[in-house]
């Protein structure tokens, strides 16, 4: 037996966390296991042709790690397909939650729906009852009068507003990847950079600009300034790169894992007349970045 919540939970933001904590609390009260039943890939990427460019706040591995950190005992990942999307609410509840996952209590958010035929939440709750599942409703989570959603957080990050995104997430937004070879131009002006190759190509990259970042490398934490963009001063292409200058650090780290946590946005990405002008700006960026670090 278990208490569960279902959904995609992209970002595992503060609204999601309220639901997850309610799952854990109810499971503890009943003396059973807590469970998240989630899906992969994102339903929009399966059902909407125009969603090919959808970018996510969390990879599946990141979501699982976050659920565990919040106290969840079991995580069940269901393959989301067009056939799966056609299940009725009752079919989903019986075939997956009851028979496959052993769910007796289902925690639902204020606007949560299950199955393609749920006209409203009251109808869904009644269907749960018929299937032997008790629905536990959680009220919406608001921060400063705003209801938090994954879509709002994506839009904030696309605009480079990493600080408000962090408030909604309950943590700094992060990117994880491997350090790949660059063109070494940063080193020639005293600002060597680590070029990040993302492990998950579906991860949303914040909008172009220069950011203050916390850098995690070999279990150590450093401060850094990260440029996201097309590097207009030295490059005429359109390829987006993620380059980070780690402050007070100069080691060969090619091939190593790197995690960036975005602390704040320093400025827009701009084109400078020459490398000397770029170097002077980077010195200023370095000084400006310090206000974002604890």
Please tell me the predicted confidence (pLDDT) of residue 183: 73
Containing domain of residue 192, as a range?
Answer: 172-292
Q: Is residue 274 part of a domain?
A: yes
In a domain, 123, yes or no: yes
Q: Is the dihedral of CA 78, 79, 80, 83 positive or negative?
A: negative
The CATH number given to whatever domain includes residue 127 is 3.40.50.620
Residues 6+ apart with CB under 8 A from 204: 55, 56, 57, 154, 157, 158
7 and 138 in a common domain:
yes
Q: Tens-digit pLDDT profile for the chain (294 aa)?
A: 999 999 999 999 999 999 999 999 999 999 999 999 999 999 888 888 666 688 999 999 999 999 999 999 999 999 999 999 999 999 999 999 999 999 999 999 877 878 777 668 888 999 999 999 999 999 888 888 888 999 999 999 999 999 999 999 999 999 999 999 877 677 888 899 999 999 999 999 999 999 999 999 999 999 999 999 987 766 756 788 999 999 999 899 999 999 999 999 999 999 898 889 999 999 999 999 999 996
Do 28 and 138 have their domain in common?
A: yes
6 and 141 fall within a common domain: yes
83 contacts: CB under 8 Å, gap ≥ 6: none
Strand partners, 137: 108
8 A C-beta contact, residue 209 and residue 243: no
Percent helix, strand and coil across the chain, each to the nearest 5: 35, 30, 40
User: Does 157 fall in a domain?
Assistant: no
Q: How many domains does the chain have?
A: 2
| Runs of H (alpha helix) within the chain | 14-30, 43-47, 60-69, 82-85, 89-92, 121-130, 150-158, 162-169, 185-188, 275-289
Place of tokens 């680590």: 194
CATH number at residue 268: 2.40.30.30
The rounded distance, in Å, linking the Cα atoms of 55 and 53 is: 6
- Confirm if 168 and 152 have CB atoms less than 8 A apart: yes
């Amino acid at each position: 037996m278990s208490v569960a919540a279902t959904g995609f939970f992209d970002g595992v933001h503060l609204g999601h966390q309220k639901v997850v904590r309610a799952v854990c609390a109810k499971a503890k009260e009943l003396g059973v296991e807590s469970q998240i039943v989630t899906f992969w890939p994102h339903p929009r990427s399966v059902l909407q042709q125009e969603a090919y460019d959808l970018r996510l706040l969390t990879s599946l591995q990141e979501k699982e790690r976050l659920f565990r950190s919040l106290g969840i005992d079991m995580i069940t990942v269901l393959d989301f397909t067009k056939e799966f999307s056609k299940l009725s609410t009752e079919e989903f509840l019986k075939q997956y939650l009851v028979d496959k996952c052993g769910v007796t209590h289902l925690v639902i958010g204020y606007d949560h729906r299950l199955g393609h035929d749920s006209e409203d939440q009251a109808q869904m709750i009644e269907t749960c009852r018929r299937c032997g599942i008790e629905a536990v409703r959680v009220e919406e989570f608001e921060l400063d009068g705003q209801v938090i959603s994954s879509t709002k957080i994506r839009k904030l990050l696309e605009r480079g507003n990493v600080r408000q995104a962090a408030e909604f997430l309950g943590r700094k937004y992060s990117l994880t990847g491997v350090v790949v070879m660059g063109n070494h131009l940063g080193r020639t002006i005293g600002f060597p950079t680590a070029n990040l190759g993302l492990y998950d190509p579906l991860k949303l990259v914040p909008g172009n600009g220069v950011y203050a970042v916390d850098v995690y490398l070999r279990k150590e934490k450093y401060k850094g300034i990260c440029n996201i963009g097309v590097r207009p001063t030295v490059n005429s292409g359109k390829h987006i790169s993620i380059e980070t200058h780690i402050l007070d650090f100069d080691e060969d780290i090619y091939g190593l894992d790197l995690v960036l946590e975005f602390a704040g946005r320093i400025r827009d990405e701009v084109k400078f007349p020459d490398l000397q002008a770029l170097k002077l700006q980077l010195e200023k960026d370095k000084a400006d970045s310090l206000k974002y670090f604890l």
